[in-house]
Chains A and B, each alone.
Chain A
Amino acid sequence: MINKLVQTMAEAMDGIRDGSTVLIGGFGAVGQPNQLIDGLIEQGAKDLTVVANNAGTGHVGLARLMELGRVRKIICSFPRSAGSVVFEQLYREGRIELEIVPQGTMAERMRAAGAGVPAFFTATSVGTSLARGKEQREFNGRTYVMEEAIFADVALVEAWEADRWGNLTYRSSGRNFNPVMAMAAKLTIVQTQHVVELGALDPERVVTPGIFVNRVLHVPYGDPPIP
């Protein structure tokens, strides 16, 4: 029997190694796997490269992981936002490395990894400082810059529903980066609001097929905070 459901956070986090590249889903407070991030804090892996759209807020979750000195490098599109105090201080003090990536390029770099495509060309960032040092080529009269895939060790994903095969659905804009991150990692760990029986999800409605998922933990925490 295939059963990706795990019963404890310790099982969910088992084997995450120091030096891992970790993808963390979410956009704003929606679709963010907060309990898995806390689990990673507890688990102890360090020297991490984290890929997330934002660089954490306040002193909880991703910000806490960074504050504990566990993140060597962050790859994100929007590091500075209201409350990103921990990141800003670490960055000022030279204690964290930043790779700033246009949001669509970031998503595509993970989708490419999930599809086994090591690099691709895009018009985004051509003629800007973010294209410096990158290979450029012309196709059909337009210049494009080469971007490399982000192959990750671990993805932390939040779903709305999951079954024991790891098939996933998402809730409204909580989908965001989660499906692409699920594809791009060797070990994809999911926290889900609802666990359903195998067969209960209409195949037409599955967004992430279970093949991309390794572990599922039931975390019925309710709704994200109202912004």
Chain B
Amino acid sequence: MSVAEMEGVLETPWSGGKSPFAVNSKKLGMWLFIMSDSLTFSALLISYAYVRLFTPDWPRPFEIWPAIAKSSFMTLVLLSSSLTMVLAVAAAYRGQVKRAVWLLIATIACGLAFVVIHATEWVTLIHEGITPWSNPINPAVPLFGGAFFGLTGLHMLHVTLGVVYLGVICWGFNKGKWTAEHVEVSGLYWHFVDLVWMFIFPMLYLLSVNPK
């Protein structure tokens, strides 16, 4: 095979000469992380759905006001943070550093608001006696607390880590240390956190609305 022929082979999409996915390694790595993390959340959500559907006396402690109203507001905050994040990525690629930094700050602020509101809700539930291993509403179903705190706790951990991650990226991008690609990859993580909440909110909150 001549050199020209070998070059031709190596430059076809699936032969290693060119990236078959046309993305950089950071972005591909983040997508692979998202795949694995989504399976963790899927396993938790499916196991939650399993016990939720087939336990007839599953506790339904959430009133429309204030629990559902509060969690709906948290959803609005998280969805809005995704909008600011995607706009920050677009601004970063257009070279509008100042705009991108401000949009990243807005995203971080929304993330922090989400964590604070969520923490106040946890405190309210704990004061009502609901813990990861017990609940006074129906002591026969202690799994309610375990499922609720397990799922929302893992999600809140992701949001908190995301806020730190975005803070670091925001600082580095403002200093010129990192590029728009770094902003985009951090955005993928942030949108994933938002995506997971799109399942946790209806499954955990809306399915546990007080029927009265």
Q: Say if A and B assemble together.
A: no
Which residues of B approach A to under 8 Å, CB–CB? none
A residues apposed to B, CB below 8 Å = none
